[in-house]
Amino acid sequence: MYASGKYSSRGPALIPRMKTKHRIYYITLFSVVLLGLIATGMFQFWPHSIESTADWTLDKRSVHDAPLVRLTLSSPIPERGDLSCRMHTCFDVYRCGYNPKNKIKVYIYPLQRFVDEMGVPISSTGLSREYNDLLSAISDSDFYTDDVTRACLFIPSIDVLNQNSLRVRETAQALAILSRWDKGMNHLLFNMLPGGPPDYNTALDVPRDRVLLAGGGFSTWTYRQGYDVSIPVYSPLSADIDLPERQPGPRHYFILSSQTAIHREYRAELERLKEENGEALLLLDKCSNLSQGAASARKRCYKGQVYDYPQILQESSFCVVLRGARLGQAALSDVLQAGCVPVILADSYILPFSEVLDWKRASVVIPEEKLSEMYTILKSIPHRQVEEMQRQARWFWEAYFSSMKAIGLTTLQIINDRIYPYAARTYEQWNNPPVVKWTSVNSPLFLPLIPPRAPGFTAVVLTYDRVESLFRVITEISKVPSLAKLLVVWNNQNKSPPEESLWPKIGVPLKVVRTKENKLSNRFFPYDEIETEAVLAIDDDIIMLTSDELQFGYEYFNYLYTYKMPGDIKNWVDAHMNCEDIAMNFLVANITGKAPIKVTPRKKFKCPECTAIDGLSLDQTHMVERSECINKFASVFGTMPLKVVEHRADPVLYKDDFPEKLKSFPNIGSL
């Protein structure tokens, strides 16, 4: 019995061959799918922007081409600003929601031309250059969105920077008909020149419901703390005149007054100070012999002598900023740009961005009634502090005042920090200029991200041959609960350490390391015996510290001192046998950008057994060299990283009359 089957030259036909028309169909289908995948991939990787179609820039949208909106007499008017508004009552934070970047989204309304029933515009100037720069900067930032449904904050394209150019009622009506107005909830207005004659209110007079106001002249009566944002009055001279940064230090004049429209009583008081202090004070006024115009705005005069403004501000250590008709003055921005320390006399004035900026570091605020004492007050400020304030003043201008972009983005960042407080910028980020670091160290986080080999800290004691004092220090340090190991660095190559039986008996390992050369830098060498992350470096004559005070704090920077110290600082220290402690403070301050904190009461150094031969600090030239080394180190670092600090931290209850057993650190303060 045979099975029948069909054969061909290609073998048995087990699977029927596809018909030609079907084969063409599937080939075509496959080609279409393949082309679709290729097109999708090209679209994904081809440069494009999702939100580029509705960018807010004046180049793309001219005011003259904007649609016309006619207001009627019956158009609604918002209520006057609610003084009780706070972020939790007049701002809907739930609109902002959660996003991975912790950034609010800001929507800018499209440009519109608002006119009344007679066709008269609501503003005499339309859109100012400053407001256009502000809106353009925001539209180019990470805050911007053109999707109104994603927006957390809304900014009208109605320019209210200068109230003098507005029709108050009609401007309020224009705000009320905005599509997302909702009684001003989550809306932001920028105003720098509020009020008008004769009283000059310190906040915008336009009725605005619950709007969040960024204002340039707030007083304590109109500022809603934690809701409004106090902003500077922008100075147009910032864009027109480039003042190169001047190094901090003494200037030709001690005090300078350059404002032209101050009250006659204030001018009379300044003239009296001028008579008392002579050339130390320069009192300028408007030039009467020049024609009015842009050129005259950049000139100031004193007894017929003409000075260039604002260049003359760089010639003074302190510059007076007095209140005028309005509290906020553009002169403040000019003074900061010049690196001159502003002396602000404007009672109840809310300083710009005072929510985040520490103005004590960059200015002197004096009550108006103490204008007569101004010279005495300023003379009491140390020269070093004046230089730090000059440097800080200039940096404030560069970071927050120099342009409408800087002012606008700073305002949005403050609001952003309120909404996302867990991601807010720190005090240091707002107030500390960028730290100048040497190129060999990019980050202070140079240590491996692994746990230390041992908990607690290692005490490294540098000694030469003061054995009695050394043993006392060892005995005291051994009482500290957190001590893990004690390392003695024997710096005397001509004398051997004491025998093992003579050393104090302590409860932690004690290791003696003999050095090959007598150098002060040996105290900061990262020895292999150090297994803890924290190290306490101490001399053999520091016998006034108690175990409680030693337990109170410690930190690790030996690696940087040994291998990454810039310039020839380490060699200088070893050659002069001095200033290693100052060098370490320079290093830590430069890396962290922070000042040291004094944690215990001040005590006098006591070492009754020390002689002039034993102690380096007893040499008469020792303190002279320490002044020289500060100047030396500052020149190597390129800046003065050490900071003026007026702060101390003490354990709770250390001075209170409580039983000793209830105190964690009972011996702090005792000798």
463 and 515 belong to one structural domain: yes
pLDDT, greater one: 181 or 602 = 181
Residue 46 has pLDDT above 60, yes or no: no
Q: What local confidence, expressed as pLDDT, does residue 264 receive? A: 92
Q: Is residue 320 part of a domain?
A: yes
Tokens 């147009």 appear where?
236
Q: Is residue 630 part of a domain?
A: yes
Q: What local confidence, expressed as pLDDT, does residue 69 receive? A: 93
Using CA atoms, how far apart are residues 593 and 641, in angstroms rounded to an integer?
A: 7
Q: What local confidence, expressed as pLDDT, does residue 656 receive? A: 67
Task: Please report which confidence band the pLDDT of residue 659 belongs to, taking 50, 70 and 90 as the band edges.
Answer: confident
124 and 216 belong to one structural domain: yes
* Token pair belonging to 206: 């336009």
242 and 385 belong to one structural domain: yes
Q: Is 178 exposed, middle or buried (0-12, 13-18, 19+ CB in 10 A)?
A: middle
CB atoms within 10 A of CB 413: 19
396 and 286 belong to one structural domain: yes
Q: What local confidence, expressed as pLDDT, does residue 581 receive? A: 77
- The boundaries of the domain holding residue 509 are 457-555
pLDDT digits 0-9 by tens, 1-18: 344 443 344 443 433 455
Task: Identify any residues that bridge with 488 across adjacent strands, giving them in sequence order.
Answer: 461, 512
Tokens 């001095």 appear where?
578
* Token pair belonging to 530: 């150090």
Q: Nearest CA to 564 among 641, 482, 474, 637?
A: 637
Q: Is residue 18 part of a domain?
A: no
Lowest-pLDDT range, 20-29, 130-139, 568-577? 20-29
Mean pLDDT of 621-646: 74
Q: Is 622 exposed, middle or buried (0-12, 13-18, 19+ CB in 10 A)?
A: middle
What Å distances lie between residue 549 and 213, 481, 582, 615, CA to CA?
49, 12, 21, 24
Q: What local confidence, expressed as pLDDT, does residue 138 receive? A: 97
Q: Is residue 243 part of a domain?
A: yes
Q: Please count the residues of the chain.
A: 671
Q: What local confidence, expressed as pLDDT, does residue 240 receive? A: 82
230 and 241 belong to one structural domain: no
Residue 557 has pLDDT above 70, yes or no: no
| Helix, coil or strand: residue 189 | strand
Q: What local confidence, expressed as pLDDT, does residue 341 receive? A: 97
Quick one: how many helices (H) and strands (E) in the chain?
A: 18, 20
618 and 545 belong to one structural domain: no
Lowest-pLDDT range, 198-207, 327-336, 453-462? 453-462
- Which residue type sits at 124? S
Last-in-domain residue among 494, 525, 555: 555
Q: What local confidence, expressed as pLDDT, does residue 547 receive? A: 59
pLDDT digits 0-9 by tens, 351-398: 999 999 999 999 999 999 999 999 999 999 999 999 999 999 999 999
519 and 549 belong to one structural domain: yes
533 CB contacts (<8 Å, ≥6 apart)?
447, 452, 556
Residue 252 has pLDDT above 50, yes or no: yes
Q: Nearest CA to 648 among 595, 607, 606?
A: 595
Q: Is residue 36 part of a domain?
A: no
Which segments of 131-271 are extended strands (E)? 153-155, 188-191, 212-215, 229-230, 253-257
Task: Please report which confidence band the pLDDT of residue 591 belongs to, taking 50, 70 and 90 as the band edges.
Answer: confident
Q: What local confidence, expressed as pLDDT, does residue 620 receive? A: 58
Task: Please report which confidence band the pLDDT of residue 572 belongs to, taking 50, 70 and 90 as the band edges.
Answer: confident
pLDDT, greater one: 9 or 483 = 483
Q: What local confidence, expressed as pLDDT, does residue 153 receive? A: 97
pLDDT digits 0-9 by tens, 56-84: 444 444 566 789 999 999 999 999 888 89
Q: Nearest CA to 185 among 103, 105, 88, 109?
A: 88
Q: Is 255 exposed, middle or buried (0-12, 13-18, 19+ CB in 10 A)?
A: buried
Q: Nearest CA to 212 among 93, 75, 354, 356?
A: 93
Q: Is residue 7 part of a domain?
A: no
Last-in-domain residue among 500, 524, 555: 555
Q: Is residue 87 part of a domain?
A: yes
Q: What local confidence, expressed as pLDDT, does residue 585 receive? A: 80
Q: What local confidence, expressed as pLDDT, does residue 74 receive? A: 92
Rounded to the nearest 10 degrees, the angle between the axes of helix 620-637 and helix 580-592 is 30
Q: Which CATH number do you get for residue 490?
A: 3.90.550.10
181 and 66 belong to one structural domain: yes
241 and 382 belong to one structural domain: yes
Residue 136 has pLDDT above 90, yes or no: yes
Number of domains, the chain: 4
Task: Please report which confidence band the pLDDT of residue 488 belongs to, taking 50, 70 and 90 as the band edges.
Answer: very high
pLDDT, greater one: 522 or 621 = 522
Q: For Cα atoms 379, 383, 386, give the angle at the middle one, nearest 5 degrees.
A: 85
166 and 284 belong to one structural domain: no
Percent of the chain clearing pLDDT 70 (strictly above): 76
Q: Nearest CA to 260 among 290, 226, 301?
A: 301
Q: What local confidence, expressed as pLDDT, does residue 553 receive? A: 43
Q: What local confidence, expressed as pLDDT, does residue 559 receive? A: 66
575 and 550 belong to one structural domain: no
Q: Is residue 281 part of a domain?
A: yes
59 CB contacts (<8 Å, ≥6 apart)?
none
pTM greater than 0.85 (yes/no): no
390 and 410 belong to one structural domain: no
| Cβ atoms of 132 and 57 closer than 8 Å | no
Task: Please report which confidence band the pLDDT of residue 50 belongs to, taking 50, 70 and 90 as the band edges.
Answer: very low
Mean pLDDT of 149-165: 95
